[in-house]
Amino acid sequence: MNLDIESPFSVSTDSHERLSAAEALADKLSLPFSALNPQQLQLVLTQHHIEIRAPELGNPILIDFEEGKNAHRRQFGGGRGQPLAKAIGLKKGANPSVIDATAGFGRDAFVLANLGCKVTLIERNPLIATLLDDALQRASDNLDIAEVITRMSLINHDATAYLNTLEQAFFPDVIYMDPMYPSRDKSALVKKDMRLLHKLAGPDTDSEQLLTTARATALKRVVVKRPKSAPFVGNQKPTISLESKNTRYDVYINLST
Ligand SMILES: C[S@@+](CC[C@H](N)C(=O)[O-])C[C@H]1O[C@@H](n2cnc3c(N)ncnc32)[C@H](O)[C@@H]1O
């Protein structure tokens, strides 16, 4: 696996019962298995979940759809009135099928699935995909959100390559993308989960290619999330833009359908 990170990376566990699962995961990811090492960047299987421990980032990072920010956004995020939902085209009660081409920590995908959309999450970074897969599995056992999770499916692949091989019968209504912006604003950068994403995934320098492919694939629209002051991806002018506090959603409506 070609991970664009300087530190050595390994898989470990703090639970004797998870030892064989941790070794199997190391094997699957072609990473070394090693003992816990607080100086190292490690993917750690605990009794309850999988997390990334990065010495310089403080507390471990995991994805949690059941509690914390995701649960808060689910309850108080503004439903179909929130800018993301409007950009996707949810306001008339429609539930379009969505491909989230840059799934990351799955937060936006979870909002859309919670509002009723069937969402395919595509994430190319195998470590982030591992965290996502683990979070989805745990959440599917939680009766409060299991039904939402049934609308979310994860594919660990590059989205441009995936879309290029997708059969027309499976083209989604909407493709959503939130690529890592090279100089994402400082308030986002100081959040440690965003810093980890930067460290693991690096800036997404191929977003223009993804947008072009997405526009040729989405039946209804492509939505690109950007920092408010960022230029359009590939200088491609959207049909409309919707703004929230720090974010802009550039919406490319497919006028041929
Ligand atoms: C800024 S994060 C997305 C955050 C996400 N919207 C959320 O709510 O958690 C960007 C993610 O997209 C992934 N990514 C970027 N380009 C991709 C591509 N062409 N195919 C698949 N994943 C991609 C990166 O690895 C990174 O994890």
Lowest-pLDDT range of 38-47, 140-149, 178-187: 178-187
- Mean pLDDT for the stretch of residues 87-97: 89
Q: Are the beta carbons of 19 and 4 closer than 8 angstroms?
A: no
Going by C-alpha positions, the residue among 27, 23, 7 that lies closest to residue 15 is 23
Map residue 224 onto helix, strand or coil.
strand
pLDDT at 122 over 80: yes
| Percent of residues, the chain, with pLDDT higher than 70 | 93
pLDDT in tens, 19-28: 999 999 999 9
Instruction: Give the model's pLDDT for residue 177.
Output: 98
Nearest ligand 1 atom, CA 194: 1
Residues within a 6 A CB radius of ligand 1: 101-102, 104-108, 122-125, 128, 158-160, 178-180, 197, 201, 204, 210
Lowest-pLDDT range of 61-75, 132-146, 223-237: 61-75
Q: Ligand 1, residues 69, 98, 112, 123: which to mutate, most atoms within 8 A of Cβ?
A: 123
- The protein residue with its alpha carbon nearest to ligand 1, atom 23, reads 102
Instruction: Give the model's pLDDT for residue 163.
Output: 98
pLDDT at 3 over 60: no
Instruction: Give the model's pLDDT for residue 6.
Output: 52
pLDDT at 31 over 90: yes
pLDDT in tens, 170-225: 999 999 999 987 654 555 455 777 777 777 777 788 999 999 999 999 999 999 99
Q: Return the exposure string of 146-156: e unless at least 16 CB atoms fall within 10 Å of the residue's CB, then b.
A: eebbebbebeb
Instruction: Give the model's pLDDT for residue 183.
Output: 58
Query: Cα of 124 to ligand 1 centre, how many Å?
Result: 7
Query: Cα of 24 to ligand 1 centre, how many Å?
Result: 25
- The protein residue with its alpha carbon nearest to ligand 1, atom 27, reads 104
Query: Cα of 17 to ligand 1 centre, how many Å?
Result: 32
- The protein residue with its alpha carbon nearest to ligand 1, atom 13, reads 102
Nearest ligand 1 atom, CA 225: 6
Give 12's strand partners: 44
pLDDT band at 67; cut points 50, 70, 90: confident
Helices marked H in 99-149 — which ranges?
A: 107-114, 126-139, 146-149
- The protein residue with its alpha carbon nearest to ligand 1, atom 11, reads 104
Q: Ligand 1, residues 204, 205, 249: which to mutate, most atoms within 8 A of Cβ?
A: 204
Q: Is the pTM of this model over 0.85?
A: yes
Mean pLDDT of the chain: 90
Instruction: Give the model's pLDDT for residue 7.
Output: 56
pLDDT band at 94; cut points 50, 70, 90: confident
- DSSP output for 23-64: HHHHHHHT--B----TTSEEEEE-SS-EEEE-GGG-S-B---
pLDDT band at 125; cut points 50, 70, 90: very high
pLDDT in tens, 221-244: 999 999 999 999 999 999 999 998
Nearest ligand 1 atom, CA 184: 1
- The protein residue with its alpha carbon nearest to ligand 1, atom 26, reads 104
Q: Give dist(CA 90, CA 197) in Å, integer.
A: 28
Query: Cα of 86 to ligand 1 centre, how many Å?
Result: 21
Instruction: Give the model's pLDDT for residue 186.
Output: 52
